Amino acid sequence: MSDESAPSASNLPELTVSELSQALKRAVEDQFGFVRVRGELSGVKRHTSGHIYLDLKDDKAVLAGVIWKGSAQRMAVQPETGLEVVATGRLTTYPGQSKYQIVIERLELAGLGAIMKMLEERRKKLLAEGLFAPERKKKLPFLPGVIGVVTSPTGAVIRDILHRLADRFPRHVLLWPVAVQGEKAADEIARAIAGFNALPPDGKVPRPDVLIVARGGGSFEDLLPFSEEVVVRAAAASVIPLISAVGHETDTTLIDFAADVRAPTPTAAAEMAVPVRSELLARMGTQGERLSRALMRGVEVKREGLRGLARALPRTEDLTGPLAQRLDGAAFRFRDSLKVLAGQKRNAFHRIAAALSPSGLRTATLRKRESAANLDQRRRLAFTRRLERSGEQLSGLGKLLDALSHKATLARGFALVRGEDGKVRRQAAALAPHENVTLSFADGEARAVIAEGGAPSGPQPASPKGKRGGSAPGQGQLF
């Protein structure tokens, strides 16, 4: 049986799938422009494009959600699976899959329990990475020259820190102004910590010796920027010792675990950074007095010890007496010896002075003159005798030279034969036939020619006695 109240199918307008999807999209977006939806995050996925896709669910329904890249970068609360949040955004449809979804523009944690759960999970994660390890903690300098402060420039925190430093020990303070709450606070705080660490030690802006990251009291949500991961990692990476002073003594943030020292308040952080000048001066005075007393006690102990040793030593008179006596005896002997020596020198002087009288000088001069004349005569006589002996020796040598000369031999009747080459011929066999020779006699030279056949081989008849160039009977040849 047909339903008569239902409209006829032929009366309904015919729509395409796209037209119907667009109509539904307009109806949903018009009806639900901006909505706030509370639920638990699940299936959180981050795409390489920067978009985030997730689901909001409760115990009965699931709502798909998307966070575009621009909104994801501005999120104060980063979406994580299991967080209970309140999402604010626009409801729309996705025709490609016939579903509706929420485009989220802002996320808020729903309830303190969800925030605490998120912080606890973040703390465990950073603890596992070793960012809270005790061995990473650095010791604060005893008296820093420059203190860097990261806080708001307009709050009471910076005034309290400066006032307390002025009371205790005035130091040079560098302020890096940052926002201490809101969406941009975490990034500004992290950049400030990194900026102080990036300062060169010898640059125009002095590098701090210690850092103070401070904020006054506030609600739990106001302190959340100091628990952001970027701030905690910046504090852990700081080379400069860092003091965290966020909120009141009962407030705890994750930067407290990464800092080298946690102060309950900003004022307490200033007290930790520097000692009390007056107390330090008093302590130095006390230490100086103790040092003086200790030095005096040490000197007194040494003095008593020296006195004890001195009592064991012999008296000075006992040590120096014999030596002084020997010195006195030597002085007496020296004085007597000096008198005797002076008398001897005086007598010698008188003897010399007596010899220096005019008559004595004349006598001595005459003796010296006679002695010089005798010496001169003896020298002349000796020189004459020496000349005579030298002349006799020279005459004898001349006679010997004449006796040994070949000229004397020639004078005895011998002749010297030289060939055409001027060399002496000592044997007849050395003469060649028809050779021109020179015959040297005592009174001159003569030319001759060797006859045919050379020198005779047999005995030669004796030359007549008295002939020139002949030899005496029984006299041998010279050459």
- Residue 463's pLDDT is what? 42
- What's the average model confidence in pLDDT over 385-407? 84
CATH number 3.40.50.1580 given to 120-133+144-274: no
Sheet strand arrangement including 444-449: 416-418, 436-441, 444-449
Closest CA to 246 of 152, 146, 123: 152
The pLDDT tens digits for 318-338 are 778 788 888 888 888 888 888
Q: What is the pLDDT of residue 78?
A: 79
Residue scoring higher pLDDT (145 or 396): 145
**CA angle (295, 299, 300) in 5-degree steps:** 120
The mean pLDDT of 365-380, rounded to a whole number, is 86
Gap between the Cα atoms of 236 and 277, Å rounded: 31
Q: What is the pLDDT of residue 5?
A: 52
Question: Each residue of 71-94: pLDDT tens digit?
Answer: 888 887 778 887 888 899 888 887
Pairing of strands 261-262, 416-418: unpaired
Q: Is the pLDDT of residue 473 over 70?
A: no
Q: Residue 188 has what pLDDT?
A: 95
What does each C-alpha distance from 311 to 302, 305, 308, 320, 322 come to in angstroms?
A: 14, 10, 5, 17, 21
**What digits encode the pLDDT tens for the residues 98-126?**
788 889 998 887 766 667 878 888 899 99
Which token pair is 361? Answer: 């000088």
Mean pLDDT of the chain: 83
Helix (H, G, I), strand (E, B) or coil at 36: strand
Query: Which segment of 34-38, 235-239, 429-433, 468-472 scores lowest on mean pLDDT?
Result: 468-472
User: What is the average per-residue pLDDT within 135-148?
Assistant: 94
The full 3-state SS of 60-124, as one line of letters, equals: CCEEEEEECHHHHHCCCCCCCCCCEEEEEEEEEEEHHHCEEEEEEEEEEECCHHHHHHHHHHHHH
pLDDT, position 472:
42
Choose between 278 and 37: higher pLDDT. Answer: 37
pLDDT number for residue 175: 96
Higher pLDDT pick, 160 / 118? 160
- Note whether 213 and 246 are within 8 A (CB): yes
Integer CA distances (angstroms), 359 to 56, 348, 351, 367, in order: 156, 20, 15, 12
Phi, psi of 220 (to 5 degrees): -60, -40
Amino acid at 93: T
Q: Is the dihedral of CA 28, 32, 33, 38 positive or negative?
A: negative
pLDDT-derived band at 176 (thresholds 50, 70, 90) equals very high
For the chain, how far is it from start to end, CA to CA, in angstroms? 192
What is the average per-residue pLDDT within 257-274?
Answer: 94
Tokens 């004890």 found at: 308
Tell me, what's the pLDDT at 220?
A: 78
Confidence of residue 58 (pLDDT cuts 50, 70, 90): confident
Query: The CATH number of 18-110 is which of 3.40.50.261, 3.90.1580.10, 1.10.540.10, 2.40.50.140?
Result: 2.40.50.140
Domains of the chain, by residue range, sit at 18-110, 120-133+144-274, 408-449
Q: Residue 242: name the closest of 266, 262, 216 by CA.
A: 262
- Looking at per-residue pLDDT, the higher value among 188 and 75 belongs to 188
Tell me what percent of the residues of the chain surpass a pLDDT of 90: 31
Q: Which residues pair with 401 in a beta bridge?
A: none
Query: 202: pLDDT confidence band, cut at 50, 70 and 90?
Result: confident
* Band of residue 193 on the pLDDT scale cut at 50, 70, 90: very high
Taking only the tens place, the pLDDT of each residue in 442-469 is 788 888 888 865 544 444 444 444 444 4
Predicted confidence band of residue 198 (pLDDT cuts 50, 70, 90): very high
- Please provide the DSSP assignment of 155-215 as one string: SHHHHHHHHHHHHH---EEEEEE--SSSTTHHHHHHHHHHHHHHS-TTSSSPPPSEEEEEE
Can you give the pLDDT at residue 417?
87
Most confident of 62-66, 207-211, 377-381: 207-211
176 φ/ψ angles, rounded to the nearest 5 degrees:
-110, 100
pLDDT (mean) for 426-450 = 84
Per-residue pLDDT tens digits for 335-369: 888 888 888 888 888 888 776 767 777 777 888 88
Is 18-110's fold the same as 120-133+144-274's?
A: no
**Least confident piece of the model among 15-24, 29-38, 401-410, 411-420:** 401-410
User: What pLDDT sits at residue 255?
Assistant: 95
- Whole-number pLDDT of residue 461: 43
DSSP 417: E
Q: Which two tokens stand for residue 196?
A: 């102080």
pLDDT score at 231:
95
pTM of whole model > 0.95? Answer: no
